[in-house]
Amino acid sequence: MRIIVIGGGWAGCAAALQAKKCGAEVLLIEKTDLLLGLGNVGGIIRNNGRFTAAEEMIALGGGDLFKIADNCARHKNVDFPGHKHATLYDVNRIEPEVRNYLYSKGVNVIFETRVVDVGTEGNRIKSIYLFDGTEIEGDVFVETTGSTGPIGNCLRYGQGCSMCILRCPSYGPRISISMRAGVEDIQGLRGDESFGAMSGSCKLVKETLSEDIQEKLNKDGVVVLPVPKEDINVEKLNMKVCQQYALKEFAENIVLLDTGHAKLMTSYYPLEKLRKIPGLEKAKFVDPYSGGKANSIRYLSMAPRENTMKVCGLDNLFVGGEKSGLFVGHTEAIVTGTLAGYNAVRAGLGLNLVELPITLAVGDIINHENEMKKSIEGLKLRYTFAGANYFERMKKLGLYTTNVEEIRNRVRSLMLEKFFETRII
């Protein structure tokens, strides 16, 4: 059986790895020259409820990528405003580690190759077409292409996404595979009900910061600097796509995290104002982020899906990551991608598809997001274990815990220990 995964971000890597673990032949197609997508610029895992989710996945046998990220950690158990026990992995080390791991497991990867169309038979995709006209046939397909769509969306709704400058202009725009197969996309909304969302943490070249800030970042992983009163802009939090960081503390302070670079958790910060802050007089943004100009137009293209991650209306297309919902973050991409890869193999074998139980956070968020986005209000929200509405839900339902043994017992009681390690072909 041949599983074809389109898109090599965290979700695509997770889907490809899981399908391979199940015993399928796997081809992963990535349009750029790097895996991990936003994983190359993010670097935060295990903060708040993401700790629970990561440990659930490890107990379920789907924790390979979390273990790699843990091994690439620059700092562990970091607290910063609104967030506890974060792990900050090194964004400059993680990609080759994941790439080599996928190779070691036998996942075939094609880089700098863009999928532009599909061939269908009834409700099934039978093949994909590459930019040069090559047709590749497969049994089941997983789309993890993100959510932005073509460059025109960026120009229409904002100023590019968080991978802008280097990505679409160099490698071509994203194509919605599900739409090519005849299924209309769902679009996310901003708080004012216009399309899209805007965000953006940015990166600063660490060496452009003062020596004492560099030293503290290297030692503690986090530096918090007060913003001058005249420059505090709470309104910009309304445009934040990562709602777990849309806290007033992120408007009132400069929050820097050490992810290899200095990750600036405050979006849209003009360089001139940034350099007014002591220690940041010579600060410089790292491309591709355009720190002073905003970025991250997202959620313009999600496929309607079942809780198994199968696309509604198509028999053999699955989705993960931002393509599958209003999810924010690496952890959320790995969770949804893993389930998509697992069920892709089951679909290819003609087996019943599985949902993750809602008594686990990783199952509940998939179910909850799907229900919530049926309403206008739900389309304005983002769903992450790390904060905002969903982390509150986790706490309310008693799903959040940092007790690893308790998490293992939950999984064990469901008889799902090492569930994702089972070879099914």
- Model confidence over 174-199: pLDDT tens digits? 788 999 999 999 988 877 777 776 66
SS3 156: helix
Which pLDDT score, from 0 to 100, does residue 41 have? 80
Residue-by-residue DSSP string for 310-379? BBTT-SSEEE-GGGGSSB-SHHHHHHHHHHHHHHHHHHHHTPPP----TTSHHHHHHHHHHHHTTSHHHH
Least confident piece of the model among 93-107, 113-127, 128-142, 296-310: 296-310
What is the token pair recorded at 404?
Answer: 């690893």
Question: Taking 60 as the threshold, does the pLDDT of residue 288 lie above it?
Answer: no
Least confident piece of the model among 295-299, 326-330, 413-417: 295-299
What is the token pair recorded at 7?
Answer: 């898109």
Q: Say how far apart CA 281 and CA 72 lie, in whole Å.
A: 30
The model's pTM: 0.94
What is the token pair recorded at 270?
Answer: 């003009």
Beta bridge mates, 6: 29, 143
* CA distances in angstroms from 281 to 122, 202, 217, 330, listed in the order given: 61, 17, 17, 32
Which pLDDT score, from 0 to 100, does residue 332 have? 97
Q: Of 82, 57, 84, give the one whose Cα is nearest residue 69.
A: 57
For residues 120-140, average pLDDT: 97
Q: Say how far apart CA 244 and CA 259 lie, in whole Å.
A: 18
Q: Say how far apart CA 8 and CA 31 lie, in whole Å.
A: 8
SS3 204: strand
| pLDDT-above-90 percentage for the chain | 71
Backbone angles phi, psi at 352, to 5 degrees: -60, 145
Length of the chain: 425
Higher pLDDT: 202 or 61? It is 61
For residues 84-88, average pLDDT: 97
Which pLDDT score, from 0 to 100, does residue 291 have? 55
Is 200-287 CATH 2.40.30? yes
Q: Say how far apart CA 322 and CA 42 lie, in whole Å.
A: 15
Which pLDDT score, from 0 to 100, does residue 91 have? 92
Which pLDDT score, from 0 to 100, does residue 341 have? 98
Instruction: Give the type of residue at 143.
Output: E
Domain residue extents for the chain: 2-194+297-421, 200-287
pLDDT (tens digit, 9 = 90+) per residue, 306-362?
Answer: 999 999 999 999 999 999 999 989 999 999 999 999 999 999 999 999 999 999 999
Beta bridge mates, 225: 254
Strand order of the sheet with strand 73-80? 44-45, 83-89, 73-80
Q: Of 303, 313, 299, give the one whose Cα is nearest residue 178.
A: 303
Range ranked top by mean pLDDT from 265-269, 285-289, 363-367: 363-367
Which pLDDT score, from 0 to 100, does residue 300 have? 73
Question: Taking 80 as the threshold, does the pLDDT of residue 241 lie above it?
Answer: no
pLDDT (tens digit, 9 = 90+) per residue, 192-239?
Answer: 777 776 666 678 899 999 999 999 999 999 999 999 999 887 776 666
Instruction: Give the DSSP letter of residue 138.
Output: -
Write down the mean pLDDT value for the chain.
Answer: 90
**The residue to which tokens 């397909």 are assigned:** 141
Least confident piece of the model among 161-165, 318-322, 398-402, 403-407: 161-165
Which pLDDT score, from 0 to 100, does residue 295 have? 58
What is the token pair recorded at 297?
Answer: 């137009």
Residue-by-residue DSSP string for 10-22? HHHHHHHHHHHHT
| pLDDT-above-70 percentage for the chain | 89
Q: Of 33, 31, 42, give the one whose Cα is nearest residue 150.
A: 31
| pLDDT band at 420; cut points 50, 70, 90 | very high
Question: Is the preceding peptide bond at 226 cis, omega within 30 degrees of 0?
Answer: no
Which pLDDT score, from 0 to 100, does residue 200 have? 64
Residue-by-residue DSSP string for 132-182? TS-EEE-SEEEE---S--SHHHHHHHSS--TTTTTSHHHH-----HHHHTT
- Count Cβ atoms below 10 Å from residue 107 Cβ, excluding itself: 22
Higher pLDDT: 248 or 28? It is 28
Which CATH topology does 2-194+297-421 take? FAD/NAD(P)-binding domain (3.50.50)
Least confident piece of the model among 25-39, 48-62, 283-297: 283-297
What is the token pair recorded at 21?
Answer: 């673990």
Which pLDDT score, from 0 to 100, does residue 158 have? 65
| pLDDT band at 162; cut points 50, 70, 90 | low
E-strand ranges in 115-233 read 115-121, 124-130, 135-137, 140-143, 197-199, 202-204, 222-226
Residue 232, judged by CB atoms within 10 A of its CB (0-12, 13-18, 19+), counts as middle
Q: Of 371, 372, 359, 339, give the one whose Cα is nearest residue 399.
A: 359
Q: Say how far apart CA 357 and CA 363 lie, in whole Å.
A: 5
Contacts of 235 (CB under 8 A, 6+ apart): none
SS3 264: strand
Which pLDDT score, from 0 to 100, does residue 19 have? 98
Question: Taking 60 as the threshold, does the pLDDT of residue 385 lie above it?
Answer: yes
Which pLDDT score, from 0 to 100, does residue 251 have? 83
